[in-house]
Structure 1
């Protein structure tokens, strides 16, 4: 800091300023440390508060001039660029801060300091444990917030103050099952400020467990459970392989109709059920719902490997075995000729898959045995003939 620039026309004062600056920088590294040597008068309108904290500094001396500030003085010498003449400053992070003030009075360099306490406004993490219409509220990380107390609005017109501590907790009972919004505000004693958390709670008058509506495989090791939880109760998911014991997972939130993904081997069967997390409700587990991996697809039939002609059929229009037709997958083309016992052709077709309906010229043939010739031409040009007999039944 070049103090000579503040009084260029007074050589005696200049020597004093130079000596003062030199002695400060050499004899001490912290200009706010030595007690009883502050000759100025620093006043701050708000020395304690929460983020963001806006302060306004001033001098208590009426005739003080050339007033400058360092609002976050860290110790050591002060450069000209560290100084500001603006008396208003906003702190945007929590902690203890020091304000260093320089001023002049009747040619004397004055100095004063003040400490500012800025509190954080962290929203307290709140854990609710419900049992019918009773809820227990706890703040497990209270030691991290350092609030002196917590103001609780239960959402039903009731308010309560909870002292701070390692892990404070308190219980409240509602008169009805209407959903409430609970507001928890952490407060610092000095400044009367802090952060607020709001969380919904639905009192329950029925101890009914949620149910699993659907299980659906997502990947080789993940299954989605579609759950119906009309009362919004907290619950566990339990799962097991068929014949094994149930294994419990972590607690699930109070959600009405969630879809929850669980880790499971989808190449084997696995079963699930839901159990209420609050044991005071004394509800039985939900019905078991199992997942079974899909069956592998049937093998694709190989052409000609299963081709055959039946040895009997009953063309009586009952919808069962009414036609004499080729069965199986055939490669190539085929012709079917049917003969009566005198060797006369009673039926001929190239549509062997549709086959014969047991009629000759739209008239039903008499029951009995008929011979046939199946003439097959393969894609390569080879011909295969199959002869046999078929029994026409009533």
Structure 2
């Protein structure tokens, strides 16, 4: 037998010597596996006392001519009942953990007892994380500390195998072509040479090409449909522009050449998207931004009203001259003012338009530009009139 085989054999067979008791019915100690001073000892062996679940063990008496041998295979302290005892010397542990095996036996009229420890390891498949860059892949086990494996074996799927340490496993491998690979990782416990296995798919890429958003359209009151082409087949992120102007990731697509994707969205408001390669090492810029703009409501039919007019420009610079955009003339009844930006987004609305607009949205000044407006008027006699047009905001 090789040296390694001898080590595994010695580790797999546990032998402990314990003590005898006067008689079984008188056991009243708190823990049967803690002997008192001067008590005689018993002895037994456990074959394959360390391994992975399910672990089958065999208990072997270490003393000659013993009789009435009985076992408690998961002794947790306290008094033992007859119903806890088993005469079977073979037992299978189906759950991971550290177990104490208690043995009772008789030899030459004396009652003996002994205890041994059994270590049963779990076989959890390790959670894997892979990050690719063209034909190179980096593999990690983010929760390695939870599994307590002594090492990991990696089959990269191209005939190459590698062993990673169990504390901070990191593997980096390069492929010769862009065929899809199945990477197999097995966590291994040193004692028992067993563990759990997990697999992950990876497709190397030979080139980096920028994806393109082909179309964004509404398919329901709260649903958008987005179609894009990804000629390189690389993993991509769909990103959405936030009100702050930054882009936030929405969903990732892996190994997709062309797809149509539907998502929940308020189709009454404009929204913009772009695609970015998930592998940042490819140094390829994001796709061009593509926006969805809801259709504008039909313009109200203008009704001539020479008593009210709206200025075509204003400058909210606090100089006391034309600082607010507001209706002028013979104002009566109800006046409602709504202002839109060039994307059709409402930037200002007032139920009483007499106070006008100061060129701000949510207390933030808006940039110089042309804005459209609708002034809805209801005269005292009930007549409804609308004015609409554009106004230039000058800063």
TM-score, length of structure 1 as denominator length: 0.64
Q: How many residues align?
A: 279
Alignment correspondent of 1:107? 109
The corresponding residue for 2:139 is: 137
Offset from partner CA, 1:36-65 (integer Å, 9 cap, x none) = 856332222110111111112222334222
CA contact 2:164–2:171 (8 Å) conserved in 1: yes
Q: In 2, distance between residues paired with 1:35 and 1:298?
A: 98
In structure 1, how many angstroms separate the alpha carbons of the residues matched to 2:235 and 2:65? Answer: 68
* Higher mean C-alpha deviation, range 276-285 or range 205-214: 205-214
Residues in 2 aligned to 1:54 and 1:258: alpha-carbon distance in whole angstroms: 51
CA apart distance, 1:227: 4.2
Kept in 2: contact 1:38–1:113 (CA 8 A): no
Please tell me whether the aligned partners of residues 204 and 231 of structure 1 are also in contact (alpha carbons under 8 angstroms): yes
Contact 1:236 1:248 in 2 (8 A): no
The aligned runs of 1:11-50 (5 Å cut-off) are 20-21=23-24, 24-25=27-28, 28-34=29-35, 37=39, 39-50=41-52
Distance 1:68 1:23, change over 3 A: closer
Q: Among 160, 163, 169, which residue is 1:161 paired with?
A: 163
Distance 1:90 1:232, change over 3 A: farther
- 1:124 aligned onto 2:123: no
| Between 229-238 and 61-70, the greater mean CA deviation after superposition | 229-238
Query: What is the CA deviation profile of residues 15-44 of structure 1, one whole-angstrom value per residue up to 9, with x for unaligned ones?
Result: xx995346531xx31111238856332222
| Cα distance in 1, alignment partners of residues 40 and 254 from structure 2 | 60
Alpha-carbon distance in 2 for matches of 1:105, 1:258: 77
Q: Is the 8 A contact 2:124 2:147 kept in 1?
A: yes
2:226 is matched with 225
1:98 aligns with 2:91: no
Unmatched segments (≥5 aa) in structure 2? 1-19, 301-395
In structure 2, the CA distance between the partners of 1:272 and 1:18, relative to structure 1 (3 Å rule), is closer
Contact 1:216-1:223 at 8 Å conserved across structures: yes
Aligned to 2:245: 245
1:238–1:246 CA contact under 8 A, matched in 2: no
Q: Corresponding residue for 1:358?
A: none
Q: Give the distance between the partners of 1:258 and 1:57, measured in 2 at CA.
A: 61
Residues 1:210 and 1:102: Cα distance change in structure 2 (over 3 Å): farther
Secondary structure of the 1:81 match is helix
Alignment of 1:231-310 (within 5 A): 231-240=232-241, 245-249=245-249, 252-256=252-256, 260=261, 262=263, 264-294=265-295
Deviation for aligned residue 1:177? 1.3
Work out the CA distance in 1 between the residues paired with 2:158 and 2:129.
19
Partner residue of 2:201? 200
| Secondary structure at the counterpart of residue 144 of structure 1 | helix
Hey, what's the Cα distance between the residues in 1 that align with 2:297 and 2:92? 69
Q: After TM superposition, list the pairs within 5 Å mapping 1:340-379 onto structure 2.
A: none
**What's the RMSD between the two structures over aligned residues?**
2.9
Residue 179 (1) aligns with residue 186 (2): no
Do the aligned partners of residues 66 and 239 (structure 1) sit closer, same or farther apart at CA in structure 2, a change above 3 Å counting? Answer: same
Following superposition, which runs of at least 4 residues in structure 1 exceed 4 angstroms of deviation?
A: 35-38, 216-222, 257-263, 294-299
Q: Structure 1 unaligned runs (5+)? A: 1-16, 300-394
More deviation, 98-107/207-216: 207-216
Partner Cα distance (1:145, 1:272) in 2: 40
Q: Given the two structures, how large is their TM-score scaled by the length of structure 2? A: 0.64
Map 1:78-97 to 2 at 5 A: 78-97=80-99
State the distance in 1 between where 2:259 and 2:83 align.
Answer: 58
Deviation at 1:108, TM superposition (A): 1.7
